[in-house]
Amino acid sequence: MLRRFNATGMSPWHLLLFGLAAGIIASPAVRKGMRGLMVAGIKTVLATSDEIKSLGYKLNEGFSDIIADARTRQEQAPSPVKEKLHAAGVTAVGTGLAAADKVKGVTGDLKKKWGELVTEAKAHQNENSEKDLDLADATIATENPAG
């Protein structure tokens, strides 16, 4: 008799079990118990989540320490590239200083020669001025023989 199917296609046993489950879940005593189980389950999930976060932070801190140590060692270790760049810079500055010294020498020589030319030009100008004065005096004397 209980083997007959109803309009929904479920056997009466299924309907009976479904009804009992719904009744148990709907009762206040069961709901309190279920609420307690749900709170305990969520509490466990949260505690587990906190532990996982804590482990993650510890791992991250450990890796941060390792990375910081590696960076410190890298900065302390002499870099062949830095050494070569430093050597090239020293060479370039040395070459620049040598060129500056040569330029100073050349400009010093030019300044000396220029000074000599100026002195010579002044002397030549003075000689010409004296000759012009002598010539002027001679011209005046020939034009004015009485004087």
Domain extent listing, the chain: 1-77, 79-147
Q: Report residue 77: phi and psi, to 5°.
A: -75, 135
- Give the integer Cα–Cα distance in Å for 107 and 112: 8
Q: Which two tokens stand for residue 58?
A: 């510890």
| Res. 1 pLDDT band, cuts 50 70 90 | very low
pTM above 0.75, yes or no: no
Is it the case that residue 147 has pLDDT exceeding 70?
no
pLDDT digits (tens, 9 = 90+) for 16-74: 888 878 877 777 777 777 777 888 888 998 899 889 998 888 888 888 888 888 888 88
Mean pLDDT throughout 110-139?
Answer: 78
